[in-house]
Amino acid sequence: MRIMLKLVIDCDADAAWRALHSPRAIAELYGPLLELAPLEAGGMPPSLAPGADVPVQLTVGPVPLGRQLIHVSDRFVESAEGPVRILRDSGMPLTGALSALDVWDHQMAVSPASEATTLWRERLVIGGAAAPALWPVLWGIWQWRAGRIRALAPTWAHDPAPADGRDPTAD
């Protein structure tokens, strides 16, 4: 079973790519609905490096939902529209309701839509006997994510434009 997103967001592709690798940015996508907390004593790494295994705890308020292992790999492809960067989380739910899934494959792709915007695509593939029951819940969470991605994307730029629209380098 699949859940897919496709949206254009207000930040450049480099900023979106950095956000995909930022545990803080990823955690903000679920907030304030869900909290993503590190399970390792050292906390979350500053960036999700390819090959990293990062165990996290998901909670809603004080209620634990389960533990998840994030395992990141990166892929780069050329398409007719230009370069596409893909982050794949092939980790697995370890505990909680999602651990009943046999398949968890989450891929997020970013590519330039324009100089200042990014085409963001996601595909989550789940499988197993529990997938039909969990799909509607995950679909709802992914719609929440889409709204959060749109809202947070402008904050991912290193040098956001001033609110008054003037060019700060022109002075």
Q: Is the pLDDT of residue 163 over 80?
A: no
Structural domain includes residue 166:
no
Q: Where are the beta strands (DSSP E) in the chain?
A: 2-9, 35-38, 53-60, 63-79, 82-89, 103-112, 118-127
Structural domain includes residue 47:
no
Residue type, 95: T
- What is the percent of the chain where pLDDT is above 70? 92
- Number of domains observed in the structure of the chain: 1
Locate tokens 């792709």: which residue? Answer: 109
168: confidence class by pLDDT, cuts 50, 70, 90 = very low
80: confidence class by pLDDT, cuts 50, 70, 90 = confident
Measured distance between the N- and C-terminal CA atoms of the chain, rounded to whole angstroms: 54
Structural domain includes residue 44:
no
- The model's pLDDT over 105-160, given as tens digits with 9 standing for 90+, comes to 999 999 999 999 999 999 999 999 999 999 999 999 899 999 999 999 999 986 55
For 13, other C-beta atoms within 10 Å of its C-beta total 23
Structural domain includes residue 130:
yes
Q: Which domain holds residue 103?
A: 2-38+54-157
Structural domain includes residue 59:
yes
Asked if residues 17 and 156 have their Cβ atoms less than 8 Å apart, the reply is no
What average pLDDT does range 36-49 have in this prediction? Answer: 89
- The model's pLDDT over 25-34, given as tens digits with 9 standing for 90+, comes to 988 888 888 8
Cα separation, 22 vs 9, whole angstroms: 17
Average pLDDT, the chain: 89
Structural domain includes residue 168:
no
Residue 106: CATH number of its domain: 3.30.530.20
